[in-house]
Structure 1
C-alpha cells in the first residue's frame, strides 16, 4: 500500500467517524424502545428477502413469482437503508468503524453483538439446511438460489448492527448538580 492510499484511507475513516458522531434524526433512536423498533423494522426487511426467496422457490419461473419478489426486494432496500444508517449513528459506529477508532466499551459491545449475531446466523443456517434437505430439490429455480444467497449475505452483514441496536441501553440520566455547573 502506498503513502497516498494510506492518506486517502485515513481521511475516509476520519470523515466517516465524524459523520457517525453527528446526531441525525435523534428522536428516532433516542430511547431503547425506539432503537428496538428500528431493529424490528430491519428484521422485517430481512424477512422480506426470505419471503421473496420462498415465493421464488415455489412459483418460479412465472410472472407471479417475479411480480411478488421484485417489490419485496425493493421494499426491503427502502426499509433497510434508513434503519441501518440510524442504528449505526445510534451505536456511534461501533459496528462499522475500525476497531482502533473505538473505545473499550464500544469494542466489548461490538464483540457481544457479533457473538449473538453469529449464533443467530448458525440457527438460520441449520433451519435452512433442514428445509432444503427435506424438500424435493430436483428442479430448484435459479432465481430462488440467487435470492437465497442474497438473503444469506444480507442477514450475515446486517444482524450485528440489528443486535447492537436492540441491545443498546439508554444512557444514564445526568445528575442535576452537574447540569447547573
Structure 2
C-alpha cells in the first residue's frame, strides 16, 4: 500500500496540474509570496493572542486568520510542489542529482531564514514588558514556528526555480 501511495504522489508531482499557476518565474514568485502571506497570518494570530487573550475577540480573530491561512497556503504549496517536481517533498532516493542539489540549497536558505525568525521571536519575547504570557499565544506561536519550518523549504525552492529553457522548435522556425 505504501508503494502505491508513493507511486501515486510521484505521478501527481510529474503532472502539469495547474500549470498556468507556475508557468513562469514571476508566477512562482507570486505563489511563494502568497505562501509567505499565509504564514504571516499565523504570526499575526500569535500577536493578537499575545495582546488580547484571553478574550473572545482574540479567539475569533486568531481562528479567522488561521482559517484564511490554511485556505491560501494549501493550494500554494500544492502548486509549488508540482512546479518543483517534488524536490522538497519526495524521498532523496526518488530525485536526480540536480534535484538533490536544488533541495539542499532550498533547505540551506530556509534554515537560515528560520534562524532569523527564531532570533526575532526570542528578541520580541525578551523585549516584551509583561509578567504573564497567555497560553493561547504560546500555542499559536508554536503552530506558527512549526508551519514556518515546514513550509519555508518549498517556498524557497519555488522562489529560486528558474524558467525552463526555451524549446528548440522556436529556434528552428527563426533560422533562415
TM-score, normalised on structure 2? 0.95
Coordinate RMSD, CA, aligned = 1.4
SS at match of 2:131: coil
Give the CA deviation at 1:178: 8.3
Give the CA deviation at 1:177: 7.3
> Please, which of 4, 16, 28 is the counterpart of residue 11 of structure 1?
4
Q: Could you tell me which residue of structure 2 aligns to residue 104 of structure 1?
A: 97
CA–CA distance in structure 2, aligned partners of residues 126 and 53 of structure 1: 16
What is the CA deviation profile of residues 151-178 of structure 1, one whole-angstrom value per residue up to 9, with x for unaligned ones?
A: 0000000000000000000000011278
Give the CA deviation at 1:32: 0.2
> Please, which of 142, 146, 171 is the counterpart of residue 149 of structure 1?
142
CA–CA distance in structure 1, aligned partners of residues 33 and 2 of structure 2: 33
1:41 aligns with 2:39: no
1:134 aligns with 2:127: yes
Q: Unaligned stretches of 5+ in structure 1?
A: 1-7
TM-score, normalised on structure 1? 0.92
| Residues 134 and 24 of structure 1, relative CA distance in 2, 3 Å threshold | same
Once the two structures are overlaid, the 10-residue window that deviates more, 109-118 or 66-75, is 66-75
Q: Unaligned stretches of 5+ in structure 2?
A: none
> Please, which of 46, 49, 60 is the counterpart of residue 56 of structure 1?
49
How many equivalent residue pairs?
Answer: 173
Aligned positions of 1:19-30 closer than 5 A:
19-30=12-23
> Please, which of 67, 70, 76 is the counterpart of residue 77 of structure 1?
70
Give the CA deviation at 1:78: 0.2
